[in-house]
Amino acid sequence: MKTKIGNLLARVGLNGFLLGIFGAIGLASVFPDFGSAGSGIPWKPFIQVGIAFLFFFYGLKLDPNQLRVGLSNWRLHTVVQLTTFLVFPLLVMGTVSFIPGLNPNFILGIQYLGALPSTVSASVVLVSIAGGNVASAIFNASISSLLGVVLTPLWMQFAGGEVSGQLDLWVSIVDLSFKVVLPVLLGLILHRYLFPKIKPYLNRLKYLDQTVILSIVFTTFSESFSQNIFVSFSWKVLGGLALLMGILLLLVAAILFLLGRMLSFPKEDQLVALFCGSTKSLVHGVAMGKVLFPSAALLGLVLLPVMLYHLQQLILGSILAKYFEKKKP
């Protein structure tokens, strides 16, 4: 039983990579100068090039034929994308500001979480385990990633408070287009030529993605720790934030499940709405955050709710996927 649960969690991403994220934060707390801008190490160009390769390989792994298969289910796609980029952000904005004692930077981080696109690999895996419509899941996760390049900065311009005044919207969108959209489209175009050649090495290529993300996490939190950003936060505060992220996840999942039933979606499409609409992309959150929040110290605080939500969407999502798998006829 333990082995089955472990394999399930590993399939959706709860593995050494997630432990590596917390390890990177731990190292940043002990050696903050090593990852800071003044360390003399060329972190910035390495990360910028790494982000481009990360999204290029993401596009390279997308199968255009699978995207075309999922394209026709427009009612489902409309529900998922409206939930991701309208319902979720509005729900966050309408509730989080009224929670007493919540740090303003955590509020900003939760608002950023609400505006992020859906996760790609985890949502598709969860839909597959639960017995949902995998082709539609792939389409929704992929289109969400591209829409987020425009819609996430727009939401942060609208809801970002003082940060929105420092955000040059169109510069951010152009910057993200070059760093995210262009590499994805290039990878998608070259899929038929290059994917067969890299397919045997996919398990190794994932370490490139993980190295880039861990580098961003390490340098971001190094700046935060070097400026003593986290000194005033107790474990009780962080535990309360984690609990809040769990409640938010379950609330959005419940809304999507009920909405899918109200619209009489087939069971397979209900599962797509549930998992694609309630999950948020840590990869996009980290990569886009480097553009939207130039202050690395602030970015550390903003990313904390995103990381806590990511952890819980993997654990709770796995439990839900296993539950629906058992109910399959």
59 residue type, one letter? G
pLDDT at 327: 78
Report, as ranges of residue numbers, the positions in the chain whose pLDDT lies below 70: 1-16, 160-167, 329
pLDDT tens digits along 82-121: 999 999 999 998 888 778 888 888 989 999 999 999 987 7
Largest CA distance in the chain: 59
Q: Which domains does the chain have, with CATH numbers?
A: 2-324 (1.20.1530.20)
Give the pLDDT of residue 163. Answer: 57
| pLDDT at position 233 | 76
The residues, ordered by sequence, that sit 6+ positions from 5 with a Cβ below 8 Å of its Cβ are 318
Say how far apart CA 60 and CA 21 lie, in whole Å.
25
Helices of type H across the chain:
2-12, 16-30, 32-35, 43-61, 64-71, 74-82, 88-95, 104-115, 121-130, 134-159, 162-166, 169-176, 182-189, 191-198, 202-226, 235-262, 267-278, 282-292, 296-326
d(CA 25, CA 23): 5
Please enumerate in sequence order all residues whose Cβ is within 8 A of that of 30, keeping only pairs 6 or more positions apart, or say none: none
User: Which DSSP string corresponds to 85-127?
Assistant: IIIHHHHHHHHGGGSTT--HHHHHHHHHHHHSPPPSHHHHHHH
Helix (H, G, I), strand (E, B) or coil at 132: coil
- Residue for token digits 């529900």? 79
What pLDDT does 113 receive?
95
3-state secondary structure of 14: coil
Q: What are the CA-CA distances from residue 76 to residues 143, 237, 263, 282 (Å)?
A: 13, 38, 9, 23
d(CA 194, CA 75): 33
